[in-house]
Amino acid sequence: MTSQPTFNRPKLRVFLTFSIVLCSLVASTLASALLGQYSISVGDIFKSTFAPLGILDYPKDALAFSTLWNIRFPRIVLGLLVGAALAVAGAVMQAVFSNPLAEPGIIGVSSGASVGAALAFVFVPHALAGFAVPLSAFASGLIAALVVYTLSRSQGKADVIVLVLTGIAVTAVCTALASIATYIAPTTARDHIVFWQMGSLNGTTWPQVFTVLVVVIVGISWAFTLAQKLDTLSLGERAAGHVGVNVQGLRVTAIILATLLTAAAVAYAGVIAFVGLIVPHVMRLALGPLNKILLPGAMFAGALLVTLSDLAARTLIPFADLPIGIFTALVGGPTFFILLRTRLRMGR
C-alpha cells in the first residue's frame, strides 16, 4: 500500500485554470477552422462537422466542406495530439527526475528523430508511400533514447545526472549527423530538412492523424496510470522505495513512455521546441504538483499552445506557412526567463 503526499491547493484556482484553458482551447480550435486563405463561416463549420453523422445538412459551399475535411480538420487534430503528447511527456520527465527543467529532449529523442528524418529526406524521401520520413524519425528517436539509457547505466541502474549528461552528449552527436545530412542533401531536400527541424503541420493527412492518435491515446492513458507512483516519488527515492515503489523500474517506464509520446509527436510535425518544458512548468505553478491534476492540465495546455502557434504560423503572413517552432520559441523563451527570474527572487 503506497502512501500519497498531500498538497494543499485551492480548488477554485484549479477550477478556474481548467476553465480558462478549456475555453481558450475551444476558441482557438474554432478560430483555426474559420481563418485561412479561404474564409469559412461558423455555420458551414458546424454543418461540415455534423453532416457526415446525419445530424445536419451538408453546407451549400462544397469548397468549404472540402477545405475543412481535407486540409484544416486533420491539421487541427494533429496539432491537438502533438501538443498534448509533448506536454504530457514533459510533465512525466519533470516528475521522474524531480526537476522542473527536465524535458523530453534531454534523453535525445528529438535530436535522434532529426537524424532519421534528415537521412530519409536525402536518400528515400518517397519510399513506403511517403511514410519513410516519419517512420525513420520515429525509429531513430527511439534508438537515440535507448542509446542514452544504455550508456548511462552503471552497476545495473542509471543515475539521473549521468543520464542527463549522456543525453547532452548523444544530442550533440545527433545534431552533427543531422547537419552532415543537411549539407549533402540536394537543395529541395535541404529545404524540407530545415523546415522539418523547425516544426510544421503543413500537409497533414488523416492517415497521419490516425497513426499518431493510437500512440498518443496509449501513451497518455499509460501516463495517467503512473500518476500515483510519480506523486510518491516526489517524496524522495528512499521514501518511495520504503512504501513499495520500484524507483528504477518507474524511471525506466517513464523514460519509455516519454520517448514514445515524443517520437510520435515529432514523426509528422517535426521538432517543436519548448512545449514539453514550459507547459508542464507553468501548469505546475497554477495547479500544484499532484500529477492526477497536473497531467490533464498539461495535456490541454500543450494542445492549446500548439493550436495557437499553428494558427499564427499560417495566418500571420498572407499566403505563407511559417514553422510552428518559431512561435513556441517566442512564447517559451520569455516565459522561461520570467519563471527563472521569479524563482531567483524567491531564493530558489
Q: What is the CATH number of the domain that holds 150?
A: 1.10.3470.10
pLDDT of residue 9: 53
- Answer whether residue 282 is part of any domain: yes
Query: Is residue 235 a contact partner of residue 200, using CB atoms and an 8 Å limit?
Result: no
Amino acid at 338: I
Query: Is residue 8 a contact partner of residue 290, using CB atoms and an 8 Å limit?
Result: no
pTM over cut 0.75: yes
Q: Give the burial string for 265-275 (b: 16+ CB within 10 Å, else e).
A: bbbbbbbbbbb
pLDDT of residue 95: 87
Percent helix, strand and coil across the chain, each to the nearest 5? 75, 0, 20
- Answer whether residue 164 is part of any domain: yes
pLDDT of residue 27: 95
Among candidate residues 93, 125, 141, 112, the one with its CA nearest the CA of residue 295: 93
- Answer whether residue 95 is part of any domain: yes
CB atoms within 10 A of CB 237: 15
- Answer whether residue 25 is part of any domain: no
- Answer whether residue 267 is part of any domain: yes
Residues of the chain below pLDDT 50: 1-2, 6
CB atoms within 10 A of CB 55: 10
pLDDT of residue 347: 61
- Answer whether residue 6 is part of any domain: no
pLDDT of residue 128: 64
Count of structural domains, the chain? 1
How far apart (Å, rounded) are the C-alpha atoms in residues 164 and 97? 10
Alpha-helical segments (H) within 234-290 = 237-242, 247-269, 275-287
Query: Is residue 265 a contact partner of residue 85, using CB atoms and an 8 Å limit?
Result: yes
The three cell numbers locating residue 41: 463561416
The residue segments making up the domain with residue 109 are 41-65+89-345
CA atoms within 13 A on the CB side of 261: 35
245-284 pLDDT, tens digit each: 777 788 888 888 988 898 888 888 888 888 988 899 889 8
- The DSSP 8-state label assigned to residue 55 in this structure reads S
Query: Is residue 296 a contact partner of residue 170, using CB atoms and an 8 Å limit?
Result: no
How far apart (Å, rounded) are the C-alpha atoms in residues 145 and 256? 8
- Answer whether residue 254 is part of any domain: yes
pLDDT of residue 303: 96
Angle between helices 275-287 and 73-97 (to 10 degrees): 70
- Answer whether residue 81 is part of any domain: no
Cα–Cα distances in Å, from 167 out to 71, 103, 140, 144?
37, 11, 14, 9
